[in-house]
Amino acid sequence: MFSSAWYKKSMPAFRVATAARSYDAIVENGIARRAAAYLPAGAGKLFVVSTEDVFQHVGGAMREALHTVPHELLTLPGGEDTKRLAPLEALAEKMVALGADRTSVILAFGGGIVTDMAGFLAAIFMRGIPVLQIPTTLLAQVDAAIGGKTGVNLACGKNLIGSFHQPLAVLIDPELLATLPPREYRAGLYEVIKSAVIASPALFDLLEAQREAVLQQHGATVEWMIAECVRIKVEVVSADEREMGLRKILNFGHTVGHALEAETAYRRFLHGEAVAFGMLAATRLAQLTGYVSPPAASRIETLVRAYGPIPDTAAIDPAALQKRLVSDKKTRQGHVHFVLPTAIGATQIVADVEPALVRQAIEYALQ
Ligand code: GLY
Per residue in 161-175, pLDDT (tens digit) is 999 999 999 999 999
Residue whose CA lies nearest to ligand 1 atom number 2: 250
pLDDT at 328: 65
Choosing from 233, 248, 284, 299, the catalytic residue is 233
Contact 13, 7 (CB under 8 A): no
Structural domains of the chain, ranges and CATH numbers in brackets? 4-179 (3.40.50.1970), 182-366 (1.20.1090.10)
Beta bridge partners of 72: 47
User: Which residues make Cβ contacts (< 8 Å) with residue 81, sequence separation at least 6?
Assistant: 265, 266, 267
Q: List the alpha helices (DSSP H) in 180-263.
A: 182-199, 201-209, 211-215, 219-239, 254-263
The Cα–Cα gap between 210 and 189 comes to 13
Q: Which ligand 1 atom sits closest to the C-alpha of 146?
A: 4
Mean pLDDT of the chain: 94
Active site residue 305: no
Residue whose CA lies nearest to ligand 1 atom number 3: 250
- List pLDDT tens digits, range 322-353: 999 876 666 666 678 899 999 999 999 999 89
pLDDT at 10: 61
Active site residue 149: yes
Sign of CA dihedral 163, 168, 171, 176: negative
pLDDT band with cut points at 50, 70 and 90 for residue 5: low
Residue 205 vs residue 325, higher pLDDT: 205
Contact 72, 96 (CB under 8 A): no
pLDDT at 352: 83
Contact 114, 54 (CB under 8 A): yes
- List pLDDT tens digits, range 91-119: 999 999 999 999 999 999 999 999 999 99
How large is the average pLDDT for residues 288-295? 98
Contact 265, 81 (CB under 8 A): yes
Active site residue 354: no
Beta bridge partners of 64: none
